[in-house]
């Protein structure tokens, strides 16, 4: 059966060029980049090159890049490392719609006695910056706000937020795991202090991430051990992962605007046609400020899981906004924070595209989806007939 992969916010295909680039670093060039000998040294050189490529995509100095094990580790390091560097400050500000890699750390901090403020969003998933401004005070160590939401694709004005926050002498971190490669980021013209990204969201392998740390930002290391990453992240480097991430960043920079516009057009065609062909459905989130690849659609009165299973029968991979918690389907915390009605939040589906999707795949999905929705509505106990 064919596979139509519209779940790129979950993970992405490793680019062929990335695989080619990393292949020698498993069995031929397997030296340790910290070794004194030439065999290891050539690997060290390749890591330096990868650091330069990541720096070029982000618009920062390579020395401001720390390679980590994943986006989750980058987020944890940013938050815990900042708090350890400012032991007298006990307040953290975040939003209700962050990824669990941030939210669960913040909730754990609350249990340890920190004050954690989770900013609300409106029904389109937007923040009120006046509410943020009111919360900034001398006791605040860190503000951590994502660049783009993984479920809805809604983007936050992080450049503006960074200016506001750092202007008060407070550290600003952004989880840009979903944003990197999809929207332009230029850290040389920004006040962002800390930024997280993850390789497997932009066609690099799983198990590698980055934490950007602006020069001069105080941050205690999270992993202690050897002297790798300038003593900022101990542990022998994931050499193929890092080299692959460098290559993936280089590829993301090629035809950045053209590729993202092509993906946006495909996403818009998919979304528009589904809305036209399926009654009682709506797009979740602020469509004016959104990643080009993501569409989150609520189909009222039916379960997202049922839609996913039926799409899966045609090889179409998407994801739903509900999570199975203790045997019952709970709408996602993001859609709940946006106040999406129960009947719509339960039937939400996220389609997330990448540069590898084709128009033919979009047409196939436009053909298969409406009959699935009609069939499920016929079976729905919520639809009155
Ligand atoms: N932050 C966001 C916004 C994400 O979407 C994800 C993964 O889905 C993560 C963090 C975690 O990244 P990783 O899977 O690399 O740990």
pLDDT band at residue 330 using 50, 70 and 90 as cut-offs: confident
pTM, entire model: 0.97
Ligand 1 atom closest to Cα of 101? Answer: 10
**In the predicted structure, residue 140 carries a pLDDT above the cut 70:** yes
pLDDT band at residue 328 using 50, 70 and 90 as cut-offs: low
Secondary structure (DSSP) of 197-212: EEGGGTTS-SS-EEEE
pLDDT in tens, 258-313: 999 999 999 999 999 999 999 999 999 999 999 999 999 999 999 999 999 999 99
CA of 381 to the centre of ligand 1 (A): 35
CA of 382 to the centre of ligand 1 (A): 34
Q: Residue with structure tokens 């901090």?
A: 109
CB atoms under 10 Å from CB of 307, counted, come to 22
Q: What angle do CA 252, 256, 262 make, to 5 degrees?
A: 110
Indicate whether residue 81 lines ligand 1 (CB < 6 A). no
Give CA separation, 156 vs 61, 62, 165, in Å.
Answer: 24, 26, 14
Query: Can you tell me the mean pLDDT for 221-250?
Result: 97
How much of the chain, in percent, has pLDDT values that exceed 70? 97
Give me the chain's average pLDDT, please: 96
Indicate whether residue 241 lines ligand 1 (CB < 6 A). no
Lookup: tokens for 380:
């729905």
Indicate whether residue 177 lines ligand 1 (CB < 6 A). yes
pLDDT band at residue 337 using 50, 70 and 90 as cut-offs: very high
- pLDDT value of position 324: 54
Active site residue ranges: 324
Q: How far apart are CA 145 and CA 106, in angstroms?
A: 12
Query: Can you tell me the mean pLDDT for 13-24?
Result: 98
pLDDT band at residue 252 using 50, 70 and 90 as cut-offs: very high
* CB proximity list for 268: less than 8 A, separation 6 or greater: none
pLDDT band at residue 59 using 50, 70 and 90 as cut-offs: very high
Lookup: tokens for 172:
């600003």
**In the predicted structure, residue 385 carries a pLDDT above the cut 80:** no
How much of the chain, in percent, has pLDDT values that exceed 90? 94
CA of 385 to the centre of ligand 1 (A): 42
pLDDT in tens, 63-119: 999 999 999 999 999 999 999 999 999 999 999 999 999 999 999 999 999 999 999
Pairing of strands 91-95, 281-283: unpaired
Testing ligand 1's pocket by substitution, the residue of 12, 14, 71 carrying the most ligand atoms inside 8 A of its CB is 71
CA of 200 to the centre of ligand 1 (A): 9
pLDDT band at residue 1 using 50, 70 and 90 as cut-offs: confident
**In the predicted structure, residue 383 carries a pLDDT above the cut 80:** no
- pLDDT value of position 327: 54
Secondary structure (DSSP) of 221-265: -SS-SS-GGGGTS-S---HHHHHHHHHHHHHHHTTHHHHHHHHHH
Q: How far apart are CA 269 and CA 265, in angstroms?
A: 6
Q: How far apart are CA 54 and CA 253, in angstroms?
A: 10
pLDDT band at residue 322 using 50, 70 and 90 as cut-offs: low
């Amino acid at each position: 059966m064919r596979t139509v992969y519209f779940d790129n916010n979950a993970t992405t295909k490793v680019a062929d060029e990335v695989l080619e680039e990393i292949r020698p670093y498993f069995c031929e060039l397997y030296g340790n980049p910290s070794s004194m000998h030439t065999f290891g040294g050539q690997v060290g050189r390749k890591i330096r090159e990868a650091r330069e490529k990541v720096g070029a995509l982000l618009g920062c100095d390579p020395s401001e890049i720390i390679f980590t094990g994943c986006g989750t580790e980058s987020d944890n390091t940013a938050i815990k490392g900042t708090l350890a560097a400012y032991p007298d400050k006990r307040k953290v500000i975040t939003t209700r719609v962050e990824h669990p890699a941030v939210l669960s750390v913040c909730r754990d901090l609350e249990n340890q006695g920190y004050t954690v403020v989770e900013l609300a969003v409106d029904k389109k998933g937007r923040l009120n910056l006046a509410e943020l401004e009111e919360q900034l005070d001398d006791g605040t160590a860190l503000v951590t706000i994502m660049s783009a939401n993984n479920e809805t694709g809604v983007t936050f004005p992080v450049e503006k937020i960074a200016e506001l926050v750092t202007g008060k002498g407070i550290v600003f971190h952004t989880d840009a795991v979903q944003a990197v490669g999809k929207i332009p980021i230029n850290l040389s013209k920004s006040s962002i202090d800390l930024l997280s990204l993850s390789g497997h969201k932009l066609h690099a392998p799983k198990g590698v991430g980055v934490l950007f740390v602006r020069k001069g930002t105080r941050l205690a290391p999270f992993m202690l051990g050897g002297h790798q990453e300038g003593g900022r992240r101990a542990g022998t480097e994931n050499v193929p992962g890092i080299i692959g991430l460098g290559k993936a960043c280089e590829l993301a920079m090629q035809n950045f605007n053209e590729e993202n516009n092509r993906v946006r057009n495909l996403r818009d065609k998919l979304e528009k046609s589904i809305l036209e062909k399926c009654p009682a459905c709506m797009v979740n989130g602020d469509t004016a400020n959104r990643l080009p690849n993501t569409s989150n659609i609520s189909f009222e009165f039916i379960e997202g899981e049922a839609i996913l299973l039926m799409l899966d029968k045609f090889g179409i991979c998407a994801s739903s906004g509900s999570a199975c918690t203790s045997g019952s389907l709970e709408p996602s915390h993001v859609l709940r924070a946006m106040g999406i009605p129960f009947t719509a939040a339960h039937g939400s589906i996220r389609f997330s595209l990448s540069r590898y999707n084709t128009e033919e795949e979009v047409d196939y999905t436009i053909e298969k989806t409406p009959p699935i929705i009609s069939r499920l509505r016929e079976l729905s106990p919520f639809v009155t007939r």
